[in-house]
Amino acid sequence: MKSISPHIQFLQHSEINKAKWDNCISLSQNRLIYAQSFYLDNIAPGWNALISGDYEWALPLTTRTKLGITYLYQPSFTQQLGVFCQQEVAVPYKEIIKYLQHQYRFCEVNWNYVVSTLPPDPSLQVTTATNFILDLSATYKNTVANYHGDLLRNLKRSKRFQLFYREQGEYDQSIQLYREQYGQRMPHVNNDDYRNFKKICSYCRENGMLLCREAVDEHGTTMATVLLLTDGKRIYNLMNSTTTAGRKSEANHFLLDAVIEEFSGKDFIFDFEGSDLPGVKNFYQNFGSINQPYFKLKYNLLPWPLKLFKK
């Protein structure tokens, strides 16, 4: 452990007390599954951390090295990280940013929705990203009352196609369909990322945290799939895919509506995981969801010409 200041300690991966770490995340006002140690261990092996005292707050540090330069990056399938703490804990953001900029000359990460204000810094770019959530504690009837007209019309249309909602046995099918449909749009997600995500799914299945659902036609042919993870408070829409035939039958509207119906009246937040893409944004908004934005942080303090390796 290295003390950065009276309020900040740096921990190498081997120094992190995983039990205390997970307890900090679980008690945080902004708890997210991405920050749990099992998730980070699989998706960003060797991650380090900043903490304060006896894990009063915690910040995971996910790094890569290229051309001898170690920099901060956002792991795949990990929408938000950042600082996690209980509401009454004061976080020294200015000191944290100063340390990060000294230690890592390049940074491109996403910080969670609680970080609404950061100290002004001309070298730090902070942009807001969209993430829609839906409170499922209300009855399904009350939730549907907030559906937008476009969604209601598409749900009505989906009834013509005799779609059925069912549990999907294996997460591999959801991942494979996702790669087939969207893999080319995400060249930064490599084979190792998918392998690591499968390890997360395996852990979640063993611990009752994995939910796989699909919409099928009358012949049992898959029209749309959704791979969900849950931490007991949120249901995370990690992978949602629709086949070509499924798009024609509004299968994804049918599928997500069925998921919402299944979990309505329970103490869950449904996390759509995005999005700023206009079509996806409109689709998620149609469910009566609200935006809980998160924040993209970027700085590049590398000297020229190294500055060019990351623009």
CA 183 vs. chain centroid, Å, equals: 17
**pLDDT tens for each residue of 70-125:** 999 999 999 999 999 988 888 999 999 999 999 999 999 999 988 767 778 889 99
What percentage of the chain exceeds 70 in pLDDT? 98
Q: Are 223 and 251 in contact (CB under 8 A)?
A: yes
pLDDT of residue 119: 75
Please give the backbone phi and psi of residue 229, each rounded to the nearest 5 degrees, phi first.
-115, 150
23 CB-near residues (< 8 Å, 6+ apart) = 55
Q: State how far the Cα of 211 lies from the Cα of 171, in Å rounded to an integer.
A: 9
Cα–Cα distances in Å, from 215 out to 37, 212, 250, 276, 302?
A: 32, 11, 10, 25, 49
pLDDT of residue 186: 87
pLDDT of residue 87: 82
Predicted confidence (pLDDT) at residue 55 exceeds the cutoff of 70: yes
Q: Into which CATH architecture does domain 2-128+293-309 fall?
A: 3-Layer(aba) Sandwich (3.40)
Predicted confidence (pLDDT) at residue 304 exceeds the cutoff of 90: no
Tokens of 264: 């309505």
Model confidence at 195, pLDDT cuts 50, 70, 90, reads very high
Strand partners, 212: 227
Reply yes or no: is the peptide bond before residue 187 cis, omega within 30 of 0: no
pLDDT of residue 6: 82
Q: State how far the Cα of 209 lies from the Cα of 95, in Å rounded to an integer.
A: 36
pLDDT of residue 4: 81
pTM of the predicted protein model: 0.94
Q: What is the CATH number of domain 132-291?
A: 3.40.630.30
Please give the backbone phi and psi of residue 244, each rounded to the nearest 5 degrees, phi first.
-60, -45
Higher-pLDDT residue of 4 and 251 is 251
Identify the three-state secondary structure at position 118.
coil
Q: State how far the Cα of 167 lies from the Cα of 308, in Å rounded to an integer.
A: 48
DSSP, residue by residue, 133-176 = EEE--S-HHHHHTT--HHHHHHHHHHGGG--EEEE-S-HHHHHH
Per-domain residue ranges for the chain?
2-128+293-309, 132-291
**pLDDT tens for each residue of 125-165:** 999 999 999 999 999 999 999 999 999 999 999 999 999 99
pLDDT of residue 121: 84
Reply yes or no: is the peptide bond before residue 275 cis, omega within 30 of 0: yes
Please give the backbone phi and psi of residue 217, each rounded to the nearest 5 degrees, phi first.
-90, -175
Predicted confidence (pLDDT) at residue 311 exceeds the cutoff of 90: no
Predicted confidence (pLDDT) at residue 310 exceeds the cutoff of 90: no
Asked if 2-128+293-309 and 132-291 have one fold, the answer is yes
Model confidence at 61, pLDDT cuts 50, 70, 90, reads very high
**pLDDT tens for each residue of 179-191:** 999 888 888 899 9
**pLDDT tens for each residue of 196-230:** 999 999 999 999 999 999 999 999 999 999 999 99
Mean pLDDT (whole number) for 240-261: 98
Closest listed residue to residue 91, CA positions, set 179, 8, 180: 8
Q: State how far the Cα of 42 lies from the Cα of 200, in Å rounded to an integer.
A: 6
